[in-house]
Amino acid sequence: MSMDDMAIPHRPAPKVDPAVLPEWLIEEDDDFLVFDKPGWLVCHPSKDGPWSSLVGAVREWRGLETLHLVSRLDRETSGIILIAKNAKAASLSQTAMERRWVTKTYYALVQGELKEPVQVDQPLGPDETSKVAVKSAVRTGPGTLAAATFFEPLLSSQGFSLLRVQPHTGRKHQIRIHAQWLGHPIVGDKLYGGDDSLYLEFVEHGWTERLAKQCALERQALHANQLEFKAPHFQRTFRAPLASDMRQFIVQRMGFSEDVLQKTLAMSEGRGINH
């Protein structure tokens, strides 16, 4: 389990409410369950019982012993999670993921007003200057891996931007690191949004008054919006609408109307980006 998935001390991790879980189900057929994961829940089963993770809760809800997690997200990242219900569907979708026959699209709220689309091609490796062991950074030399991310601004105002993001590689924390490198860290990102003290304070004490002043949102404002599979024998597109806390931020902090936001999202999802 990564540090992203760990429960924070001094604040018990919430459990999935069995009555609410069905509301997160976006789509279902004979092969897949598609969920819109909230930004406080881990994907993988934990030691805190079945209702402490999405997979554990779904197993309990449906009485299924075997579920195949095709995609996963960090605890604080909301959005689309694809679960295969049988081995054949799992093989098709997981192979597509491994061979990069899938386009992933995210929405991110970032600090600062990004004016133009930008492609970041910067290698990633362990952050040797950080006190946080799990932290990575843009760097060169041994132990680094190539990484590429495309960022496109959709709305900008009041010192913040809503971006549509497509990672072309699947490195850990890639979007968050590249956003930081651009000078536009993701809103609410305690690991890559400031200095190490924010994250260390969060791990040690949970949510504090200082963090509330430093972070405009209590979680990192990153949302997995779409998975588009383009495999030879598997073409499917799955979507999860923008999370409510991010929508609220855009309206209340950035000053855009619900109508403008909805039209922007509809245009974004309707045309796609190919970079």
What SS3 state is found at 80? strand
Is 74 marked active-site? yes
Domains, the chain: 12-99 (3.30.2350.10), 103-275 (3.30.2350.10)
Whole-model pTM: value is 0.91
The pLDDT tens digits along the chain (275 residues) read 344 544 444 455 689 999 999 999 999 999 999 999 999 999 988 788 889 999 999 999 998 888 999 998 999 999 999 999 999 999 999 999 999 999 999 999 999 999 999 999 999 999 989 999 899 999 998 889 999 999 999 999 999 999 999 999 999 999 999 999 999 999 999 999 988 888 988 888 888 888 888 888 999 999 999 999 998 888 999 999 999 999 999 999 999 999 999 999 999 987 654 44
Query: Which residues, listed in sequence order, are joined to residue 138 by a DSSP beta bridge?
Result: 124
Report how far residue 62's alpha carbon sits from residue 31's, in angstroms, rounded to the nearest whole number. Answer: 14
Compute φ and ψ for 25, nearest 5 degrees: -75, 115
Catalytic residue of the set 5, 36, 74, 245: 74
Residues whose CB falls within 8 Å of the CB of residue 232, separated by 6 or more in sequence, listed in order = 101
- Identify the helix (H) or strand (E) that includes residue 36: strand 32-37
| Length of the chain, in residues | 275
Site of tokens 């931020």:
249
Site of tokens 């590689």:
169
CB-CB neighbours of 194 under 10 Å? 16
